[in-house]
Structure 1
């Protein structure tokens, strides 16, 4: 259904309630520091998110980071959810449902240390691209940075015609009175029938039917916003570089830590070839061909200041890191476009042991080197980068920033746990240590409510959780089978609560969520 205000964006179905760590300023600054860039970091800075969806990430970051947040999402339903959550915990974030044109017309906005747009650029018009670039030009501080993610070529080349088919069917061949999920299913069924008729396009793209089947199994909220907007501007990396240039932005680095580990991404021939390309933009674009990149997460800076080698090393040594899971549960291998690699036990073992020491409290890179004298600086730095890329470790903000964020995180987390009494939409809590979100399931949030009430036994946590879930007519699944009796559900919840006590609490305490 087309409305005058939506400019062709699929607004009949709200977006998901997920969390994106890439929008966290702490994580962004780490990615920039890793490549030797100076960044702005203050306790009274300003940050902006353009297109915040349901507002989960922006609320998490507004609580977890010192300073002030501003954001917009022109979908009024999503903006209302984000504002409602912000009001619940007393946030000073300024959240709007402005279009980019309306936001640009405001005269009450500050200069920002960072501006982030995750999953927005590809799905808005070229006119909106110009508005975004002008907004950045006016409102990003010198020395500030921009995070931007987008679909890109060459990886999207085989799928682009299929995505166009979905959108066109929704536009021309579906009854406007149909529900959003019905319209999506109709477009997918039409496309499946078209491929079954053996068009030459299908014959030229191996595995296309399997990809379509994968899309059919995905969350409909995600599918709606990924595939059904009228505007879809997939670009090459260099197209985005050129588009952002009028805002005085220079490409700095990827926001995907594993991308910097060449053996995971490139063959020996690829590394040799890229080494011979002098210009960094040309080299980065050529690299996309080697990995067949289809989605980029990039960081740009306004006024790129490179640190000296000694200052870069000192800042890295002073950066704190924290485990996000039990050390012995970290996977023993990691996979990239070039294949899988086993984590070397003689390097990763000592690093993980040192991170787990003293009840998992954050450790500086300097501390980790002192705790692992057999390892060199390069070994530990790369190990941390790989572990961060895997999501097993996170960079931390300064202790001063952590203290400023603690009370706000406590307040937000209490509100999120209270929401878990009614639904499972938001399964993430805020950490003042990392400035970002940590996955905590609905059941675990209910266990935390029990803990806050002074209950110390997992069996009691399970009883509270069952009182909520059972009272709402819901139940658990175990091994794909529904548990039908109260006894079965309580037993399963007790088992989960005991695992939570033994495995998760030590990490959540180190992250200062508990």
Structure 2
């Protein structure tokens, strides 16, 4: 943390190689449409991501969408990895290791249809937050949208002092140069402090369990979530004020399940919120009812509400696709208000229709015809719930899909080849959804086998075992490592068989396999 360029950001440990669907422009436009907002939708649009981490999401989206993507992450190692992925896909992404100040000073940037920052706002300084707002003011098109996620109150109120302990110990009491040892020392210090029974711990009795949960999390995630010098948690209303200079209006969350009130609110809460007229006050009050700790929000520069007829027409035109076998979709969904069963009489026909014709993507109009006598409202809510659960995705147009299919195939081949050596990136790009789809390392190795002409699951398993055995790795089943080649091959063959019978049809519909 001594380098001046990092501005207090924890750069000793690289960020994870995770993927965020919320940054997908196709997904963002669906979330806006769900709440009745118009959005820019041009195949030659420009999109920007600020703070792209290892660049997995921005490269997936730059490959699977027909527009042009620009992004920055001031960590040079992460930027280098992202640039390498962009070259492998030949997706035309312009990726930099600029600070926000350097990016703002550029004179070669276009006007953007969308700007996104996921997991950035809370962990940068107030000065950098102002630079982000100014960047948005200058470069977001009228009608364009901003996606921003951030830690929020009141949900973080009990745990915020615990996070402060971690960061302060790292600044003032660490004795190691190794990031993993520094993190563990801060966690141990905090555990010892709580064990000494401070009054703060008595006032927040859930802290012990929270600390134990953090101790079990991935150290790369913990480093960037808890150990940056800057940590600016905000109330929703304060974020609205912060973004006002960029002429942004709050539109909706990028959480489709938020549109289903019974999953989030009690009847008493819904009645109370109905008494609040001002939308900002109502949304802020809602955060108290759900104890919101992390928001994923969409703001629009020049909010344009669609008429009911326009919204219905656009929704009927939107295509949807299953991301997993219909038989593996959970029978219930959980929200802040508790668990709710998926009604068989509604969700059964919807899942059957989505799985029909080898899982091919279908418009809501086609689904409405296939699920009669379901009403438009019932189908729309069912799709919103399934999208929220991550088992269904909205799709881009078939014209856009055809424009990006070849480069998706190129990127996916390169990612699968990397799975021969590492399990870092477990997501592939879909030209159908414009986004990423989780595909495990072994499944990627199975896809390599199929590309090589191997037709039998046992052959796919043989290739996978050959790869990991050469690297002195074994599978874990339950909590136990499989120690013999026969045990590992049997487990891999079982996985390959399940892949052939259940997952392959889905990946083919997504134009990945």
Same fold (TM over 0.5): yes
Q: How far apart are 1:178 and its partner, in Å? A: 2.5
Contact 2:401 2:431 in 1 (8 A): yes
Query: In the alignment, which residue of structure 2 is the partner of 1:179?
Result: 178
Q: Give a deviation string over 1:258-282, Cα, whole Å, max 9, x none.
A: 0111001001110000011111111
Q: Aligned with 1:497: secondary structure?
A: helix
Query: In the alignment, which residue of structure 2 is the partner of 1:209?
Result: 208
Instruction: Give yes or no for the alignment of 1:73 onto 2:73.
Output: yes
Q: How far apart are 1:489 and its partner, in Å? A: 1.1
Query: In the alignment, which residue of structure 1 is the partner of 2:316?
Result: 317
Query: In the alignment, which residue of structure 1 is the partner of 2:25?
Result: 25
Query: In the alignment, which residue of structure 2 is the partner of 1:226?
Result: 225
* Equivalent-residue separation in structure 2 for 1:74 and 1:337 (angstroms): 36
Q: Aligned with 2:91: secondary structure?
A: coil
Q: Give a deviation string over 1:428-481, Cα, whole Å, max 9, x none.
A: 000000000000000000000010111111111111111111111111111221
Q: Aligned with 1:359: secondary structure?
A: helix
Q: Give a deviation string over 1:303-358, Cα, whole Å, max 9, x none.
A: 11111111110000010000111111111111111101111110001111111111
Q: Give a deviation string over 1:147-171, Cα, whole Å, max 9, x none.
A: 0000000000000000000000000
TM-score by length of 2: 0.99
Q: Give a deviation string over 1:106-132, Cα, whole Å, max 9, x none.
A: 000000000000000000000001100
Runs of at least 4 residues off by over 3 Å: none
Count of residue pairs the alignment pairs up: 513
Question: Where do 1:354-369 residues align within 5 Å?
Answer: 354-369=353-368
Q: Aligned with 1:5: secondary structure?
A: helix
Query: In the alignment, which residue of structure 2 is the partner of 1:453?
Result: 452
Query: In the alignment, which residue of structure 1 is the partner of 2:344?
Result: 345
More displaced, 13-22 or 366-375? 366-375
Instruction: Give yes or no for the alignment of 1:129 onto 2:129.
Output: yes
TM-score by length of 1: 0.99
Q: Aligned with 2:228: secondary structure?
A: coil
Q: Aligned with 1:299: secondary structure?
A: strand
* Equivalent-residue separation in structure 2 for 1:97 and 1:168 (angstroms): 28
Q: Aligned with 2:299: secondary structure?
A: strand
Query: In the alignment, which residue of structure 2 is the partner of 1:442?
Result: 441
Question: Where do 1:251-266 residues align within 5 Å?
Answer: 251-266=250-265
Question: Where do 1:8-157 residues align within 5 Å?
Answer: 8-157=8-157
Query: In the alignment, which residue of structure 1 is the partner of 2:294?
Result: 295
Q: Give a deviation string over 1:59-113, Cα, whole Å, max 9, x none.
A: 1000110011000000111111111111222231000000000000000000000
* Equivalent-residue separation in structure 2 for 1:340 and 1:469 (angstroms): 40
Question: Where do 1:399-438 residues align within 5 Å?
Answer: 399-438=398-437
Contact 2:148 2:297 in 1 (8 A): yes
Query: In the alignment, which residue of structure 1 is the partner of 2:390?
Result: 391
Q: Give a deviation string over 1:19-70, Cα, whole Å, max 9, x none.
A: 0000000000000001111111111111000000000000100011001100
Q: Aligned with 1:388: secondary structure?
A: helix
Unaligned runs of 5+ residues in structure 2 are none
* Equivalent-residue separation in structure 1 for 2:387 and 2:88 (angstroms): 32
Q: How far apart are 1:482 and its partner, in Å? A: 1.0
Query: In the alignment, which residue of structure 2 is the partner of 1:336?
Result: 335
Query: In the alignment, which residue of structure 2 is the partner of 1:477?
Result: 476
Unaligned runs of 5+ residues in structure 1 are none
* Equivalent-residue separation in structure 2 for 1:288 and 1:202 (angstroms): 24
* Equivalent-residue separation in structure 1 for 2:30 and 2:460 (angstroms): 37
* Equivalent-residue separation in structure 1 for 2:8 and 2:245 (angstroms): 26
Q: Aligned with 2:5: secondary structure?
A: coil
* Equivalent-residue separation in structure 2 for 1:373 and 1:349 (angstroms): 12
Query: In the alignment, which residue of structure 1 is the partner of 2:235?
Result: 236
* Equivalent-residue separation in structure 2 for 1:508 and 1:437 (angstroms): 11
Query: In the alignment, which residue of structure 2 is the partner of 1:372?
Result: 371
Q: Give a deviation string over 1:351-399, Cα, whole Å, max 9, x none.
A: 1111111100011111111111111111000000000000110000000
* Equivalent-residue separation in structure 1 for 2:491 and 2:268 (angstroms): 52
Q: Aligned with 1:357: secondary structure?
A: helix
